[in-house]
Chain A
């Protein structure tokens, strides 16, 4: 830049920093981090940030219908790309509306950056209009958060926020920007990154890797349990090699879907509360459990005492706090799943593969004994059928988003996931309503891919306003509502465990979703029987824009198999109330 000196002579000063407003320094920082898309809603305290975005041509800002939607869209953006998703909201209600999405990202380890407006620094603490202590409120549901108290801190804070969010175990980070900080001029530039108390460990300890290889060599009944961490670390290839080369069967957690191809003969599908009977038998009987990027959540383990009771446990995770938190790890390996599993594969070169043929035969017997099945009479419409038909008509790399509830579990069970980063859902927090905004985030992150949403009637209605966003952005996706006019999962629990006392789970006065879709400017269909499912799906997938199919299914259909809460994984119930296991 050129600068006029006091003596009137103009000189070139290449190193001289540019003076710009705090908000502009923020946007500059976002661009340095490679941000191309962000999701948000404007408001008073965040106006300077929007003003800085107004003339910007590199960042595509998507105006959402609700801040919760912005956070979920950012989550999906991360799940699809592996890069941090960015959302933006104003102070007070805008910021608090993000909280559900932040908590969701925290539970499922997704990297999102939430930039929030804040009242001017001199008004903080005065209960000013739209003031909320966002740092305090978001503390328990974020990996870290920042209140930027000085405009000169903006460049370093942005750099640090992105680094913290998407290194180690990914998580949400809040950057709270008071309005004066956004408006004031600063010539600060980012310095060297230095966070003394934060240094994630990526390399697995060689001794532990060796121990793991020895355990694998010595195992008769090994089982790989791959989770969302394996996908996030881009370790799917390494997991596949470990399984294929050593003939080790693989089960996944809900968030691990796609981390191992389900069309591989070693795949047992998902384990846990609604996992396959054979995966749950396998985890109960295995003598070596290789957990990769999993956190042994209660929905996955069932009763802890009965989880892999006779197995030695290898646990690979980037977060040391996950080791032996729920399940004791005999061979803990803290590190990045891609590197650690790669190291184990290398180490296996000097170890014999275990002989697993008897074990695989046993598993095949269990596959036959506990098949995944459902019945659909003529004229009926079963959710499993709708999902299978959708699977048949969409390519392998289709991204599937869901809400939370029965439909989510059916989507997990009946759609076949063969590629990583194709399953996007709320696992840990179980956030109903996440489906549509995640679909929007996913489509914007991967415009060339087929994106579908398998949603529930209750879930869909919670964030239905985002249809306006989808129509405005001309997003091409297909959303299928598995509509049973119930909070279906609650209804199922009430039927099975609460003497059919259906307290507040029935939703008899839902709107007609196909018409809702049309009113928003999307296209709507209504399905009530199995006959024309294929035809409608094809039309919807063909349609260039948001397609909404209201599939009215048999309301009495339940999700099976099911491990009742508090039971062991081998105590699953198959359909029609038959006991699945313990009958050897």
Chain B
């Protein structure tokens, strides 16, 4: 056979297969449509544990059709491992569709609430920061305020950085939720 070096060999001559795991890990966003039945979350979460895949976040809720739920899963990996994640997810019987929104144009949001220490002097400053992030102060006490912010990960983290100086007493964050932009539904996009 007259062919060039098979593509799966790296320039070092080592098979690509062997070095794939653990190499060049980045974040991937998967949107997983599942049957809305008991035990499905456990099947999906258990799969990640069993296959040694890393979940960064997982958010789940009912869809426009109450028979289905949609999970947005942020997973750490590379193209090869995430390909396996998708294939293994597809093998879970109640999983109906796995869409990869990583490279697609999608809207990503998460919600965070911060309980921030304050005193009469800093309260105004905190409220100003909240306002500039279009965040809401949802509870106010003499020594602490609770700020709620919605946005993509960068925005949420930027606000957290700003609030850190005042002393964050407690944080709670949802996982990321994502939808494809445009007219197509999430299940018609991705791969």
Binding site for B on A (CB under 8 A): 135-136, 139-140, 143-144, 147, 164, 195-198, 218-220, 287-288, 303-305, 307, 309-312, 319-321, 323-328, 330
Contact = CB atoms under 8 A, between A and B. Distances in A.
Contacts of A198: 93
B43 A288 contact: no
A299 to B, nearest CB: 16
Contacts of A139: 42-43, 46
Given A197-B95, A197-B96, A330-B6, A320 B90 contact: yes
B93 A321 contact: no
B87 interface: yes
B93 A164 contact: yes
B84 interface: yes
A176 to B, nearest CB: 11
For the complex of A and B, the 10 pairs showing the least CB-CB separation, nearest first, are: A321-B87, A328-B8, A304-B18, A197-B96, A144-B93, A305-B15, A140-B50, A305-B18, A287-B1, A197-B95
B17 A197 contact: no
B74 to A, nearest CB: 21
Interface magnitude class on chain B: 20 to 34
Contacts of A324: 17, 80, 83
Contacts of B18: 303-305
B88 A321 contact: yes
Residue of A136, A309, A321 most packed against chain B (CB within 10 A): A321
A21 B8 CA distance: 58
A17 to B, nearest CB: 25
A206 B18 CA distance: 30
Nearest to A222: B1
* Residue picked from B34, B42, B80, B87, most chain A C-beta under 10 Å: B87
B15 A304 contact: yes
30 contacts: A135-B39, A144-B93, A164-B93, A195-B93, A196-B35, A196-B96, A197-B35, A197-B92, A197-B93, A197-B94, A197-B95, A197-B96, A198-B93, A218-B1, A220-B1, A288-B1, A305-B15, A305-B18, A309-B15, A310-B6, A312-B1, A312-B6, A321-B84, A321-B90, A321-B91, A324-B80, A324-B83, A325-B87, A328-B15, A328-B17
Contact of B46 (A140, A143, A287, A312): A140
A326 B8 CA distance: 12
Contacts of B25: none
A321 B94 CA distance: 17
B142 interface: no
Interface of B: 1, 3, 6, 8-9, 14-18, 34-35, 39, 42-43, 46, 50, 80, 83-84, 87-88, 90-97
Given A143-B93, A312-B1, A320-B90, 10 more contacts: A164-B93, A196-B35, A288-B1, A311-B6, A312-B6, A319-B91, A321-B88, A321-B91, A326-B17, A327-B17
Nearest to B84: A325
Contact of A328 (B16, B94, B97): B16
A304 B17 contact: yes
Nearest to B19: A305
A162 to B, nearest CB: 13
Given A139-B46, A196-B96, A320 B6 contact: no
A265 B42 CA distance: 51
B22 to A, nearest CB: 14
Contacts of B87: 320-321, 323, 325
A49 B84 CA distance: 40
B8 to A, nearest CB: 4
Nearest to B3: A312
Contacts of A219: 1
A196 B8 CA distance: 35
Contacts of A164: 93
Nearest to B33: A197
Contacts of B97: 197
A352 to B, nearest CB: 14
A309 B5 CA distance: 10
Contacts of A321: 84, 87-88, 90-91
Nearest to A296: B17
Contacts of B15: 304-305, 307, 309, 328
A302 to B, nearest CB: 11
A311 B35 CA distance: 42
A220 to B, nearest CB: 6
B23 to A, nearest CB: 14
A326 B83 CA distance: 12
Contacts of B8: 328, 330
Contacts of A311: 6
Contacts of A325: 84, 87
Nearest to B91: A321
A193 to B, nearest CB: 13
Contacts of B3: 312
Nearest to A160: B93
B87 to A, nearest CB: 4
A326 B90 CA distance: 18
B13 to A, nearest CB: 8
A311 B17 CA distance: 14
B95 to A, nearest CB: 5
A200 to B, nearest CB: 10
Contacts of A319: 91
A288 B3 CA distance: 12
A136 B42 CA distance: 8
Nearest to B87: A321
A335 to B, nearest CB: 15
A461 B155 CA distance: 63
Contacts of B16: 328
Name, among B43, B46, B97, the residue most crowded by chain A CB atoms within 10 Å (CB to CB): B43
A159 to B, nearest CB: 14
Contacts of B91: 319, 321
A136 B50 CA distance: 13
A71 B135 CA distance: 58
A10 to B, nearest CB: 42
B1 to A, nearest CB: 5
Nearest to A304: B18
In this complex, which of A136, A140, A197, A288 has the most chain B Cβ atoms within 10 angstroms of its Cβ? A197
